[in-house]
């Protein structure tokens, strides 16, 4: 990144490029610096845009792929662990909403920042650069060391002075150009602000913002109690057959030490997560 800016200093010091009076030369250099910086901004933002894409499926972004995976796993867990399936279903909804926000982010960055800056480079800058190149050509003719006819010298000088006025007029627009570009670059932070607010809304919409450590501890405790119940039932079954008068109890008489969570308890645990 910023290769253009590093090359700019070399270009500014290129002795093959005609040089002009201080103020004019400074403005020409500034014009090219603005172009170089804009191109770097465009490249950097498009790199950000591409970073949201799923490398394996370019038609969807990362969070949409996450949502697809969560949905598949949620369906797989139905009937096996409904509580976990419900949790995955909530995650899938959050990821879907964030995925849509990412699509909006990508298109907004392109439309509000990259395209306007690129349009300036291809239109206004290209036009001004063409006028500067014409000035360079006339400057070389004026500075030509070979003897010229007096009339030719006079005509070249007049053409050079006329072209200099054209370039000066274009360079006077630099202040407005900088202002316009600043507004377009500022759109980047506005787009990112909107994106992150949409992410927060997506999380709050599904109640995922209430997933706190204490809620996760409650969910873990619920799971551990279920494991104890299952373990107790298994022990009762294995020791339930009677042999003579050994006093072993039948499976029907075995009572687990803890009770299985009721559906109401399960819902409460999930809401606390």
pLDDT per residue, tens digit, the chain (273 aa), is: 445 545 554 554 455 788 988 899 999 999 999 999 999 999 999 999 998 888 877 678 888 888 889 899 989 988 888 888 888 888 899 999 999 999 999 999 999 999 999 999 999 999 999 999 999 999 998 888 776 688 888 899 999 999 999 999 999 999 999 999 999 999 999 999 999 999 999 988 888 777 766 655 665 565 565 555 555 555 554 454 444 444 444 444 444 444 444 444 444 443 443
Q: How many CA atoms lie within 13 A of 35 on its CB side?
A: 18
* Six-digit token string for 59: 């038609």
Predicted pLDDT at 3: 58
Do 184 and 149 touch, CB atoms closer than 8 A? no
Instruction: Give the residue among 248, 249, 255 at the shortest CA–CA distance from 232.
Output: 255
DSSP lists the bridge partners of residue 57 as 54
**pLDDT for residue 268:** 46
State how far the alpha carbon of 57 is from the alpha carbons of 47, 63, 87, 104, in Å.
17, 12, 26, 18
CA torsion angle 104 108 114 120 (round to 10):
150
Pairwise CA distance, residues 136 & 130, whole Å: 10
Report the relative pairing of strands 57-61 and 53-54 from DSSP bridges: antiparallel
User: What φ, ψ does residue 8 adopt, rounded to 5°?
Assistant: -65, -40
Residue 270 and residue 87 in contact, taking contact as beta carbons nearer than 8 Å: yes
Q: Fold for domain 3-210?
A: Substrate Binding Domain Of Dnak; Chain:A; Domain 2 (1.20.1270)
Distance CA 251, CA 232 (A): 11
Q: Residue 254's pLDDT is what?
A: 42
Tokens 């072209």 sit on residue: 163
Residue 240 burial (10 A CB sphere; 0-12, 13-18, 19+): middle
pLDDT for position 267: 46
The H-or-E segment that residue 54 falls in is strand 53-54
Return the number of other C-beta atoms located less than 10 Å from residue 101's C-beta.
Answer: 21
Report the candidate in 124, 118, 109, 125 with the shortest Cα–Cα distance to residue 46: 109
**Distance in angstroms (rounded) separating the CA atoms of residues 217 and 158:** 85
Contacts of 138 (CB under 8 A, 6+ apart): 156, 159, 160, 163
């Amino acid at each position: 990144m910023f290769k253009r800016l590093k090359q700019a200093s070399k270009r500014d010091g290129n002795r093959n490029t005609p040089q002009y009076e201080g103020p004019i030369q400074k403005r020409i250099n500034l014009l090219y610096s603005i172009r170089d910086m804009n191109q770097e901004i465009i490249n950097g933002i498009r790199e950000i845009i591409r970073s949201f894409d799923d490398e394996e499926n370019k038609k969807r972004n990362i969070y949409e792929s996450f949502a697809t995976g969560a949905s598949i796993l949620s369906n797989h867990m139905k009937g096996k662990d409904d509580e976990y399936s419900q949790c995955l279903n909530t995650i899938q909804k959050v990821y879907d909403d964030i995925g849509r926000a990412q699509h909006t982010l990508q298109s907004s960055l392109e439309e509000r920042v990259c395209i306007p800056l690129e349009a300036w480079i291809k239109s206004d800058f290209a036009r001004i650069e063409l006028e500067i190149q014409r000035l360079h050509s006339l400057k070389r003719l004026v500075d030509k060391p070979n003897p010229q006819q007096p009339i030719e010298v006079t005509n070249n000088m007049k053409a050079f002075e006329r072209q200099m006025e054209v370039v000066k007029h274009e360079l006077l627009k630099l202040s407005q150009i900088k202002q316009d570009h600043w507004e377009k670059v500022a759109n980047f932070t506005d787009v990112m602000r909107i994106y992150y607010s949409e992410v927060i809304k997506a999380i709050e919409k599904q109640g995922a913002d209430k997933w706190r450590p204490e809620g996760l501890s409650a969910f873990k405790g619920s799971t551990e109690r279920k494991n104890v119940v299952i373990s107790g039932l298994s022990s009762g079954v294995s020791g339930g057959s009677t042999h003579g008068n050994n006093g072993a109890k039948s499976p029907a008489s075995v009572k687990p030490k803890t009770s299985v969570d009721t559906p109401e308890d399960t819902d409460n645990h999930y809401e606390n997560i």
